[in-house]
Amino acid sequence: MSLTARDLNAALWAAADEMRLVMSADVYKDYLLGLVFYKALSDKILVEAYELLNDEKPESLEVAQKAYEEAGADSEVWFDLKAELEDRFGCAIHPRMTFSAFYQQINERTFMLDDLSQAFRDVEAASGGVYAGLFDDFDIQSKDLVKTPDKRNSMISAVISKLATIDFSRYPEDALGDAYEYLISQFASESGKKAGEFYTPQAVSTLIARIVTYGQDTKYGFTVYDPTCGSGSLLLQIRNFIKDDEENGVDKKHSIQFFGQELKNQTFNLARMNMMLPRVPGSHQHLRNGDTLDADWPTDEPTNFDAVVMNPPYSQKYSAAEGLLTDPRFAPYKKLPPASKADFAFLLHGFYHLKDTGTMGIVLPHGVLFRGGSEGTIREELLKKGNIYAVIGLPAGIFFSTPIPTCVVVLKKNNTERNVLFIDASKEFRKERAKNFLDPEHIEKLFTTYVERKDVEKYAHLASFDEIEKNGFNLNIPRYVDTSEEEEEIDLQATFAELAKLEQEEREVDARLAEFFKELGVCFNEGGKA
């Protein structure tokens, strides 16, 4: 029986049950994702080791584990095998510290949490620094997990036992990466704002990825940058829209260079794991833990990219120090965005790192479209240079982190006509309980409208620069796309005629009733009262 992505998703989510009962998703996600990552790495190493030793795939992980232990017991064999695994994976897990070994120890009642902690430390300390600090947030001794050591041991053992039934080597290469994204989306859904900040819903990621790769989808060595990358979901979506040259055997998807920066260390490590699982080559991963606005990055080649994608924190405070006015990211606009709202600061940072031939897509609150002051000045300058290419209004309630409506602003450096396409998709969604969702048909309509760049009644309008200028460079979508429904005109003459007819009918009924009651000898008053 073939295994599907749905099977994998269900099995992984079931492994969270032991934790879900006693802690919130924003707490247990680090533990579960850490264990899933270690399990995946361990399985890949076991299978690879078996193939190196026997020139064939193992029948099961149990068979691979036995062969791995035998190799570990032979110092000469282990020396060569270890070196080969370190070259391929950046580390070689000790035979008694594989995920399969820990499962055996649980069944034999010899498992110790300290051994798991040591296994993580060993991976982090592997030569080359590929995994350095990766498990910083996996604190086995934390009371956030559960209060007593025995209970922590029991809980982790239960999760390991559930994960141990999954053989990751039996799924396609991309299945695990997709499953990891599924888990991240589930955590965001369960925790709302707390966990939602590191995840961009797949539908929005898909839309932005299609937009920024359009016209560049056959490029070899495509470069993409996300200055607020969160879990890396928006970056990784790009792979789905770069086309391989199958006729000439050119794998363009694996030629993509990913650049990302994330402020929170916890989320930064999550992005690293997310990159490693779908086997993005280490040389193609360029992730940095840092403050995007405080200090510019990247500053070494390359510094400009084919695409920039962003879903930054909305209306966040930042330093807005005067020294930033000399920073090349902000200097051309002569004013800094207000300290209370960093929305335009994130936009300008990303735009600075965009190639002249590239496309940028950024998710922002609607306020950036019409707020005045320094934001109005910056917006006007961008419009005069033809840098704002499209504004797409999204439905409210599609993000886990906020209920407010948002928009996607698309920017280019070569829009000489200086026109702007406005799309109002605020009413295009599927409602499910308290959440709104963009389905594939909604995304397809949005993307097709973006590409065709034509007016669509009550949905889209291509506004000229003159029109925008007459509106005072205000980009509020309702100024350009009227989605209101016309009220049905009331024919007053027909209405009065109908009322007169009803009154006449009422008088006729009263007269008939009066005659009827007269025959019965009952007094009948006008108005129907006997």
Beta carbons within 8 Å of 149's beta carbon, 6+ residues apart: 113, 141
SS3 346: helix
Nearest CA to 116 out of 97, 143, 101 is that of: 97
458: left (phi over 0), alpha (psi -120 to 50) or beta: left
Burial class (CB in 10 A: 0-12, 13-18, 19+), 135: buried
Strand 285-289 relative to strand 388-393, pairing: unpaired
The least confident of 306-310, 401-405, 409-413 is 401-405
pLDDT at res. 35: 92
**pLDDT averaged over every residue in the chain:** 89
Label residue 10 by pLDDT band (50, 70, 90).
Answer: confident
Please tell me the distance from the alpha carbon of residue 253 to that of residue 475, in angstroms, as a whole number: 36
pLDDT at res. 1: 44
What whole-number percentage of the chain has pLDDT above 70?
94
Do the domain assignments include residue 403?
yes
Q: What are residue 288's phi and psi, to 5 degrees?
A: -135, 140
Strand 420-424 relative to strand 460-463, pairing: antiparallel
Q: Is the pLDDT of residue 227 over 90?
A: yes
Nearest CA to 406 out of 212, 231, 208 is that of: 208
Counting the structural domains of the chain, the total is 3
Q: What are residue 375's phi and psi, to 5 degrees?
A: -65, -40
* CB contact at 8 A, 333 and 381: yes
pLDDT at res. 33: 87
Can you read off the two tokens belonging to residue 27? 């707490």
In what helix (H) or strand (E) does residue 359 lie, and over which residues does it extend?
A: strand 354-365
pLDDT at res. 112: 93
Domain containing residue 203: CATH number: 3.40.50.150
Label residue 246 by pLDDT band (50, 70, 90).
Answer: confident
Do the domain assignments include residue 450?
yes
Question: Pick from 149, 169, 189: which residue ends a domain?
Answer: 189
Strand 257-262 relative to strand 354-365, pairing: unpaired
- 50 and 165 both lie in a single domain: yes
Q: Where are the alpha helices (DSSP H) in 401-526?
A: 440-452, 465-470, 492-519
- 322 and 455 both lie in a single domain: yes
pLDDT tens figures, 452-499: 999 999 999 999 999 999 999 999 999 999 887 665 666 778 877 888
- 209 and 133 both lie in a single domain: no
- 256 and 379 both lie in a single domain: yes
Do the domain assignments include residue 123?
yes
Tally of CB atoms within 10 A around 350:
24
- 130 and 244 both lie in a single domain: no
* CB contact at 8 A, 313 and 197: yes
**Highest-pLDDT range among 4-8, 318-322, 517-521:** 318-322
What whole-number percentage of the chain has pLDDT above 90?
60
Nearest CA to 426 out of 440, 438, 409, 441 is that of: 438
Do the domain assignments include residue 485?
no
pLDDT at res. 31: 86
Query: What pTM was computed for the model?
Result: 0.85
Nearest CA to 115 out of 97, 131, 133 is that of: 97
- 244 and 112 both lie in a single domain: no
- 517 and 430 both lie in a single domain: no
pLDDT tens figures, 55-106: 999 999 999 999 999 999 999 999 999 999 999 888 999 999 999 999 999 9
Do the domain assignments include residue 356?
yes
Do the domain assignments include residue 508?
yes
- 471 and 502 both lie in a single domain: no
Average pLDDT over every residue of 386-395: 97
Q: Is the pLDDT of residue 524 over 60?
A: no
Label residue 528 by pLDDT band (50, 70, 90).
Answer: very low
Question: Pick from 437, 452, 479: which residue ends a domain?
Answer: 479
Do the domain assignments include residue 59?
yes
Domain containing residue 93: CATH number: 1.20.1260.30
* CB contact at 8 A, 175 and 5: yes
Q: Is the pLDDT of residue 517 over 80?
A: no
**Apex CA 108: angle with CA 107 and CA 112, to 5°?**
90
pLDDT tens figures, 126-145: 978 889 999 988 887 777 77
Can you read off the two tokens belonging to residue 493? 């003459």
Residues forming a β-bridge with 406 = 365
Do the domain assignments include residue 484?
no
- 159 and 206 both lie in a single domain: no
What range defines the domain where residue 521 resides?
Answer: 491-530
Label residue 303 by pLDDT band (50, 70, 90).
Answer: very high
Average pLDDT over every residue of 340-351: 97
pLDDT at res. 431: 87
Please tell me the distance from the alpha carbon of residue 29 to that of residue 23, in angstroms, as a whole number: 10
- 210 and 341 both lie in a single domain: yes
- 208 and 180 both lie in a single domain: no
pLDDT at res. 490: 67
Q: Is the pLDDT of residue 523 over 70?
A: no
- 219 and 120 both lie in a single domain: no
